[in-house]
Amino acid sequence: MSISNLIVHEIQKHEGERKAILIARPNENPVDGQAEALSAQVTNLFNRSGMNTGRFVNPQGSDEGAQLPALLYKHFKSDTFVDFAGFTKDCAAEFLKYLEPVEEAEGGLLWFNHYELHGTHFLYIVMLKRKKGIGLGADLSLSQIEQIEMEKLHMSLRINLTAWQSGDEGRYISFRFGRAPKFESEYFTQFIGCDEPKVAAKETRKLVDLTSAFCQSEGLPSKQANAFKKVVSEHCQAKAQEREPLAIKEIASEVESRFSVEQANKFLEIADSDSFKMEKEIFVEKAALKKLTRLSGSSRALTLSFDSELLGESVVFDADSGTLVIKELPKSLLKQLQSMSN
């Protein structure tokens, strides 16, 4: 990551009040070791689970509604911000307008970070909070100090500026609400000016269901279906590891390489159907991929989970009686059962 611009502004507002004050820094913060360390921490927290994605309703902005797209269109030219301090000050003023009417909301530090990664430009806008801490003086005396809370992110967004500027129809905005209450997530979404946000976990579950629906529609044998699901899972895992979006066409390419062009087109047809309405690109939530390769279920007294490829082998299901026979028990479970039977 190469940081191009970085600045922090402060919005002062107490819970229960409708008045907020913007304290704008006049010039950019220096990009030094501390700034790079904080940026790395923000990135690490941002890339955890719980991602939402979206795009601007009006990519070039308009006189009505959120002004963030219009401010970007005005200030970001040829991969460079003409006046980063001025742009961020205007953004902070807009943010204040959405924050101020919400009595329950509090202010904080607005962190703006423009950086480049692998030739792609990004912009972070993050709400950071202060917290009390304990400091140790030169004489080893203890004192109370203020520091930035970095255990969690409150509200944050990342815009793929390169994708937005090129007119990409994908979901080039990623944002997280952390544990922010609903009223905060609502005004933050309004400030961004994006369409209905998509939750990564929900979109991933749709992809899992889509993969199963395709296997059923093509009548794939169990082993073939499980092998394909495993390939899809591994492809998704790789994307999640690299923190890159997954294009649905990539999965269609996997279908084409293993089956046929016709079946690849069938996969895309199901993806576009009213049952799924998949986005062209999604961010993958690793935890939501489990159903691709595992079968599981639980009741109050029993929890069962196993790899789907075991079905028909060491795990046999009788559809008529609704019973499941497990031929090869885990050694630890087998040992417990044997000790109980003695």
Q: Which residues pair with 194 in a beta bridge?
A: 56
152-to-90, 130, 211, 317 alpha-carbon distances in Å: 26, 12, 34, 45
Q: What is the pLDDT of residues 95-123, one digit of tens each?
A: 998 888 888 888 889 999 999 998 999 99
Sign of the alpha-carbon torsion through 229, 233, 239, 240: positive
CB neighbours of residue 262 within 10 Å: 10
Q: Which residues contact 10 (CB under 8 A, 6 or more apart)?
A: 22, 23, 107, 108, 109, 110
Vertex 243 angle, CA 284 and 51, to 5°:
55
**Is the Cβ–Cβ distance between 252 and 264 less than 8 Å?**
yes
Using left for φ > 0, alpha for ψ between -120 and 50, and beta otherwise, residue 114 falls in: beta
**Is the Cβ–Cβ distance between 264 and 249 less than 8 Å?**
no
Residue 242: per-residue pLDDT: 75
| Secondary structure (3-state) at 275 | coil
Residue 268: per-residue pLDDT: 93
CA distance 336 to 224: 35
Token match 């009213």: residue? 274
CA distance 263 to 269: 9
**Tokens (6 digits) for 7:** 């600045």
CB neighbours of residue 328 within 10 Å: 10
| Secondary structure (3-state) at 170 | coil
| Residues of the chain below pLDDT 50 | none
What does residue 48 show for φ and ψ, rounded to 5 degrees? -75, 180
Residue 144: per-residue pLDDT: 79
| Secondary structure (3-state) at 7 | strand
CA distance 298 to 117: 43
**Tokens (6 digits) for 220:** 């794939």
Q: Which of 280, 276, 251, 279 is nearest to 263 (CA)?
A: 251
**Is the Cβ–Cβ distance between 172 and 160 less than 8 Å?**
yes
Residue 10: per-residue pLDDT: 92
Task: Work out whether strand 2-12 and strand 142-148 pair parallel, antiparallel, or are unpaired.
Answer: unpaired
Which ranges of the chain would DSSP assign to H, the alpha helix? Answer: 33-46, 68-75, 84-99, 161-165, 182-192, 200-217, 222-242, 248-258, 261-272, 290-293, 331-341
pTM here is 0.67
